[in-house]
Structure 1
Amino acid sequence: MAQFDPRRQPMRFAPHLLTAVAALTVASLAGRVYQPAQAEPVPELTAEQIASLEARAFAAAGAPAGLTAPEAIPVQIRRGETFEQAVQRTGISGAEASAVAATLSNAYDVSQMQAGLRFETAIARPRGGRGDARLIGLTMRTGPASQLTVSRSFDGALRLRALEERVTEETVVLTSEVRGSLSATAQRMGADANIRRKAIQIFAHRFDLDRDIRASDDFTLVFDRSVTENGRTVDTGDLMYAELKGIAFYRYQPAGAREPQYFDASGKNMRSSMMRTPLVRGFRVSSSFGVRTHPISGFRRMHQGIDFAAGTGTPIVAPADGVVVEARRWGGYGNWLRIRHANGLESGYGHLSRYGSGIRAGQRVSQGQVVAYVGSTGASTGPHLHYEIWRNGQRINPTSIRVDVGTELTGADLAGFRAEKARIDRIIAAGGQRRPVVMQASAPGLRPAAPAATRS
């Protein structure tokens, strides 16, 4: 307690002094405008960020008491199986499978799901090994750039979310040196199987792809594709330009033609009357046409074809348009195929492992179409293709066939080709082009629904 000191004067504030101080304070604040607190705007999340947040939510909610961390289990609906039966195979109970189906039915008619449909699940299992597993999340793709997810919220409810990715259509210009093989290099750069197959088919008219192509040879491919904002390719268009070792081919469809064709820079069709070989990659000549010692009988006899050593399953293509005459078993030739072409020519193929899709007697085939696959059936010491050429019923040396080059564009077709060539050249000079597109979900059974719904 403070002690009273008679030597000090007590400090007192006069009422008028307090009033003056208050007046000054009010005056100083009177000129200021009240500023409410401003909340910072929340940025819109991208699909990638949403997916990342969902993954973190799965991890956080994925190990409730008594359960292990969730494991990813892919599921494919089997023939005659319902969605509930398919998801039950992950180990969850029938009641939980019904709850998942009810949640998903807010945006998808689960009764329309067909055999072969795939989806991903995240499943947590009991730590003691007893009891039913629990579904933590499910992801189902409903279109090229859309998907539905069912996730377990923190309160145990199932939540449905529809995600739609933004898609960009772009024209890609891939340029590289060959490293390993042309096909493998193109694959590493992002060309899908259809683009690689078409490029190899085009180049096979001018090159022996096993002997003419070397490491460091330059090539360029130009094609359209649709990609999501995360870089996933959802669709690929046609190959519009292919160049190898300085020889370029442009895609163009002349008036009246049934399908686009490929022409060199001068407008000459790259199609030859007969491709150099029926194999376009992964082979070597193991036996030429002429007299040789037979590898099985040991006798010297005429070898009336060419043998190409290649791995089992290597695709064999038709060297020219034609009609299948035979597709059957034939003695030492094993699985045998014979195709009739124009000008009295026929081609024969022996020791096949299997035939191409739809190949049978009477079937028309086009140049470059896969008609069979290399094997080792019949009298064979290993996987290879025995290839023959017949002219007017007599076997001849396949290398003696004179190959005619394709026709050359003229008139209006040549003018149209030059305009298309100039357009493609501008795209190549610009390094490609991009344009946004909107892709609609296309899965059967998809219903318009609110983006999110919750089910217990």
Structure 2
Amino acid sequence: MQRSEPSSKPGILSQNRRFKERKLRLRWLLAFSSLPLFGIFTAFGIAPQTSVQDINIHTVVENIELPETIAPMVQVDAQNSSFWQADQIRRDDTLASLLSRLNITNDDAIEFLKRNPDARALATQLRPGRSIQAQTNQDGQLLKLQYQTDNNSTLHVELTANGYEAHVAETVMETHPVLKSAEIKSSLFGATDEAGIPDAIAIQLAEIFSSDIDFHSDLRRGDRFVVVYEASYWNGELARTGQVLAAEFINDGKTYRAVRYRNPEGQVSYYTPEGKSLHKSFLRSPLEFSRISSGFSLGRFHPILQKMRAHKGVDYAAPIGTRVKASADAVVDFVGVKSGYGNVVVLRHQNGISTVYGHLSRFAAGLHRGSKVSQGDIIAYVGMTGLATGPHLHYEFLLNGQHRDPLTVALPNAVPIAPKYKADFLANSSKLVAQLQLLISSNLASLE
């Protein structure tokens, strides 16, 4: 007959109970011992070596005129007991949530906005960021409403003696120049975001100065720029951003300036203040923004072939689907698949120059051999077809059949301002340069 060993569980439980009791006593001891320390911290929070008992307390009463406070998004018509409220469409907005936020509660207005052919644009075209204004009374009755349906049209709804009426009219906007400056700390977009400059303006700056500055590799920390651009406002709110009118970019200590000019024939381009065209006949890069993953080299270890091989072009790393632009006016010489290039486009330009665009995911619609393309036209999209380890564009530049480094080859200038327009150009240019100089001077003054 086997004897069962006594269980050890009661002993373990009693040990745990005694251990918890010791921990509890230790915690209370620490708590009581810390009370004097709290008094020390409190005393230092007042001031060191200050006797609070000896402080004389005096009561001072003054009449202070309070500034008038105005809610920026709500205007009150005290005479008619109505309220104007301005807002913007949010991503998750529905017609019901929008009307609730605008304090529109009367059923006849809500029903009208749902069923009227013109007013229904409010329910069917809720676009995030669009502006809307509504006037309501204290009972939540809609009196007037204005909604920016698109950049050029505004929906107007108004309560009349015959009920609600709606019509769409051309948006009346105020357009004026905006002056901004920024400093490069990490990237162009980082600088424009910090300065409150729209992304559309950043992209324009990169295109304007692309023949002199490679925004993939030339930017330096501390580079600065000032820009004057058009902006259109509707009821005091930014509705859309226009074109860059003038800009100055200081890159690696060298200053570049640009002014926009529209000649009497309607042609628009950018020039130096003296009338020299800023656009070369070739773009330095066929992509707007990307990262150079492999440069031009006569001897490079090929990652797939595992041997030394000349790399007679430049690789731009970019996501699949990134747009590829024609670097200059040309005729399409080849569209299709070619060995290690995968999907490839070859363009034939003037003066014996040709460019190659490889590893593409797809081609622009309608592109074929013999097609004529202009500088900046979208010809294809980045991919990783052929011998490619990742998505990128392989770009080559050939002169009379000989490869040249696309990053360093000398690019010819475009045609300067026509002599017959020179006087008109200089008159416009001087005004824009004066605006640039005003912004530069104010920045220098703020630094001093």
Q: What is the TM-score of this pair, normalised by structure 2?
A: 0.61
Structure 2 vs 1, CA of residues 399 and 214 (structure 1 numbering), >3 Å: closer, same or farther? Answer: closer
RMSD: 4.7
State the partner residue of 1:142.
Answer: 149
2:346 paired residue among 320, 338, 341: 338
Cα separation, partners in 2 of 1:241 and 1:330, compared to 1, 3 Å: same
Q: Is structure 2 residue 237 aligned with structure 1 residue 231?
A: yes
Contact 1:75–1:119 (Cα < 8 Å) also in 2: no
Identity between Structure 1 and Structure 2 (%): 29
Partner of 1:425: 433
Partner of residue 248, structure 1: 257
2:311 corresponds to: 303
Q: In the alignment, what sits opposite 1:176? A: 182
Q: TM-score, normalised by structure 1?
A: 0.60
1:208 maps to which of 202, 210, 214: 214
**What letter is aligned with 1:49?**
Q
Match of 1:74 in 2: 93
Q: Distance in 1 between matches of 2:389 and 2:362?
A: 17
Q: How does 1:39-438 map to 2 (within 5 A)?
A: 48-49=74-75, 73-74=92-93, 100=110, 102-105=112-115, 108-109=117-118, 117-118=125-126, 141-144=148-151, 146-147=154-155, 167-232=173-238, 234-245=239-250, 246-254=255-263, 259-356=267-364, 359-393=367-401, 395-398=403-406, 401-409=409-417, 411-429=419-437
> For the structure 1 residues 117 and 406, does the alpha-carbon distance in structure 2 shift closer, same or farther, using more than 3 Å as the test?
same
Change (3 A) 1:351 1:248: same
Unmatched 5+ stretches in structure 1: 1-43, 57-70, 77-85, 88-95, 121-135, 152-157, 433-456
SS of the aligned residue for 1:74 comes to: coil
| Kept in 2: contact 1:324–1:361 (CA 8 A) | yes
Query: Paired residue for 1:154?
Result: none
- Please give the alpha-carbon distance, in whole angstroms, between the structure 1 residues aligned to 2:310 and 2:427: 53
Structure 2: tracts of 5 or more residues without a match = 1-69, 98-105, 129-140, 441-448
**In the aligned structure 2, how far is the partner of 1:187 from the partner of 1:357?**
34
Residues 226 and 436, structure 2, Cα contact 8 Å, conserved in 1: no
Q: Which residue of 1 aligns with 2:18?
A: none
Residue 355 of structure 2 contacts residue 395 of structure 2 at CA under 8 Å; is this kept in 1? yes
Letter in structure 2 aligned against 1:308: Y
Alpha carbons 2:232, 2:240 under 8 Å: kept: yes
Following the alignment from structure 1 to structure 2, what is the Cα–Cα distance between the partners of residues 303 and 103?
63
1:349 Cα offset (Å): 0.8
1:48 Cα deviation after fit: 4.1
Retained in 2: the 8 A contact 1:208–1:280? no
Structure-1 separation of matches of 2:380 and 2:75: 47
Supply the AA of the counterpart residue of 1:176. Answer: A
| Letter matched to residue 217 of structure 2 | R
Q: Which amino acid in the other structure matches residue 75 of structure 2?
A: Q
How many equivalent pairs are there? Answer: 337
Question: Aligned-pair distance for 1:426?
Answer: 3.5
Q: Which has the higher contact order (CA 8 A, sep 6+)?
A: 1
Query: How much does 1:350 deviate?
Result: 1.0
Aligned counterparts of 1:359 and 1:199: Cα–Cα separation in 2: 29
State the 1:417 CA deviation. 1.6
Offset of residue 392 of structure 1: 4.2
